[in-house]
Every structure is written in structure tokens, then in C-alpha cells.
Amino acid sequence: MDMPVDRIEFETMLLGRHMSLLTSRGDGRLDRSAYILLSRIRVQGPMSIGQLRDAFGLDTSTLNRQTAAMLRAGVVERIADPDGGIARKFVITDEGERRLDKDRAENREGLQRVLADWSPQEAARFADDLARLNRDIERLDGRPWPRD
């Protein structure tokens, strides 16, 4: 039986696979975890390990490994909490901003190639549907992603 949920599950699985094929995976690309963490820090501002844990539902040891790799890559640095808290926070460096912007631009270019034959209305409807899907997932998970 071809239920819509079966098709959605299958197509989202493929989408995850295909997104990595849209761009070159050459030197200088952020790995997936760094891309996502940097994107969240950019939207939310400096974040501690505890705040990242709460935002992503990941364990502290995983985040310590991921942020240590990001520190070594020079895409984040640790700063004193601007609000005076005890925990140090991660902030994006100029290099992190540059690399995130570069990767995001490559992702957009890849999507523009895919959507070249779509009307503006079709692309806007798809963007709205994806946003709704993500908001509903976030609502059920209890971890909303800050949006502009």
C-alpha cells in the first residue's frame, strides 16, 4: 500500500542522501556536525556546551568531541559568558563565518540547479511545506530552531 507517510519517509531519506551530492566535497568544506552547530550558534549567539546539549539533545561527550574539532579547525573559539555566567561559550570566528557562508552559498547554488525548471510559486510552496514539516518535528521534539 502506498500511503503518503511511506512516500514521505522514502523521499526524505533520499533527500538527505542527495543533498550531499549537490555540492563538491572538496577541501575546506565543513563536516555536517560543524555546519549544523555553526548555523545554530550564528542564529542564537554564543552557546555553552549545556545550551548546545539542550538545543540538539546530544550527550555532552559527543558535543565535546565536535566542538574540540571545531576549535582545532579555527571555526569557533571559547569566550567568557557575555551575560556573566560561569560556563564559557562558543562563538563563531571570522574563519568560521567565512567557511559557513561559503558552504551555504554552494548549497544554494546546488539547489538552484535542481530547481531551475520550477516556477517561483512551486519553489515557494515547497519551501513553505519544508518549513512546516521542520516546525512540526521541532514541536514534537520540544527543541524549536530559532528562525529569522
129-135 LR contacts (CB < 8 Å, sep 24+): none
Which DSSP string do the residues of 40-104 spell out, in sequence order? HHHHH-SB-HHHHHHHHT--HHHHHHHHHHHHHHTSEEEE--TT--SS-EEEE-HHHHHHHHHHH
Instruction: Sketch the domain layout of the chain as residue ranges.
Output: 26-116
Q: How many residues does the chain have?
A: 148
Q: How far is CA 37 from CA 26, 117, 143, in A?
A: 20, 32, 14
Q: Quote the CA–CA distance of 89 and 21 in Å, as a whole number.
A: 33
CATH topology of domain 26-116: Arc Repressor Mutant, subunit A (1.10.10)
Q: Which run of H or E residues covers position 24?
A: none
Instruction: Note the pTM of the prediction, 2 decimals.
Output: 0.87
pLDDT 10s per residue in the chain (148 long)? 567 999 889 998 898 888 877 776 666 789 989 999 999 999 999 999 999 999 999 999 999 999 999 999 999 999 998 888 888 999 999 999 999 999 999 999 989 999 999 999 999 999 999 999 999 999 999 999 998 7
